[in-house]
Structure 1
Amino acid sequence: MTARQALTSTTTRRRFLTAAGLATATVTFAGTQEAMADDYGSGQLGPWQDLSRAISTEKQINPVLANDGFFMFGDSIAVQDGYALALRLQDRTGDLIAVHNWSGRPTAPAVDALQQWASTYGLPRRIIMATGSNDIFNPPAFGPQIARTMSIVGPNRTVFWVNTQAARTRVSESMRLADQRNSAWVNLQLADAQRTYPQLRIVRWAEFLAAKLSRLTAYLSDGVHTTVPLGQDARNELIVQAVEGT
């Protein structure tokens, strides 16, 4: 057992992992299903504010800060996979995680949530950003949010950002191609930002999926969300490996 693991009692671990902030929620992708007039081919982002979410409470956030764990800000993939990630992180590194995950949410309001938590609670040394899939509807808006994120966290914290793979299977072929093109656009902005911010670490989910064609169907249920447990385990493992490599 590591020193960090010794700091976390079995009681605290069970209470944190089973609390409402990491409850299982219905996963919904907020994008439209039919072609609409738009600039980028993927349609328009639908309303997301009333979709499922998993948000840790102050009672859950405090032990994360006390033990220098992780804050995570994500979308519907993170809503679905966040509890399993919390378990994997604690088993492998002994770290706690507090989450602010919201289905359908693009990156700008996720960064708003990061700013709010920074102002209200302060930040741990490490932040996980699992957002970008909903930015395929407006890819140019993504890059400035990376800059905002890095400005909020400052030069002495590490940001682990999971890149994006979206090619929805329930839309037309032209929209699916646009999804893929726009995912690549989002990921390119992330790669460009890494040259500016050495403390930005990319979790290369898109590259993992592209390595074998069969992974797109085996690891994704609808072209975006992970299959459970196969895709969920693979994505969470990439995140944990990135953390362990720092």
Structure 2
Amino acid sequence: MTVVDAQREHLFVGWDVGGWNCDKNQNSRDALVVLDHTGQCIGQPWRGNLRETINSATTPAAFLAELLALCKLGNPGQSPHATLAIDAPLGFPEAFASLIAGGTPVDQIGRSAANPYLFRHTERRLVAEGVTPLSAIKDMIGSQATKAMHVVARFAPQRLSPGIWTDGKHLTVIETYPALCRARLGLQVGTEPIPKTGRDADIHDAEVCARIARDFDLNRERLESPTDDTPASEGWIWAPRRVSVEA
């Protein structure tokens, strides 16, 4: 991996999110991978807990510069800019938000992933293709989801369209889901076996995220875009388009 002057080009950062207190969890922590425009990993992958970095940064530029510094890319002399793809929900189900904010219930509750309180529109669509999405409400990813949404609220608060956030200058933020990306066979991340636990698994997922960030900027036609009925507040999981199995 070659260290480059990070100010010279738009960079692509993948963040596999750990919980707020993931420094106590050896098997799941924050992980970062940075790619350049050619798709090469630059600097060094990083793994740890970003909580203090999130707390200490006061601007989007400072937050991004600290992420790059963790990956041994130094502090660029000019303001950095990057697309950041995050492996964590960046929204809660609209029905759930309406229920807790105003006590407004839905008429019917479906089973499992058809339950609109537990799963977002983007997640409910995955069940038909055999993908079992995690829920920020019922599964053990609430800590990761609030951590990621906190970062978006602080450093990329402008929603351009469903599933895309920005600060207008330094950061563009999207959500992705490495397991879905691999299931769709639309992303090449080497040929080595996928790690199952610990440091290598977190870094592997962060690299998948970074590659989705790059495709989002340079080859967006490869990714499935939000449908017209996607609630803007729920966000969208960006992933490769489904590969047709027809002859």
Q: TM-score range by the shorter chain?
A: 0.3 to 0.5
Higher relative contact order (CA 8 A, sep 6+): 2
TM-score, normalised by the number of residues in structure 2? 0.33
Which has the larger share of strand?
A: 2
Which has the larger share of helix?
A: 1
TM-score, normalised by the number of residues in structure 1? 0.33
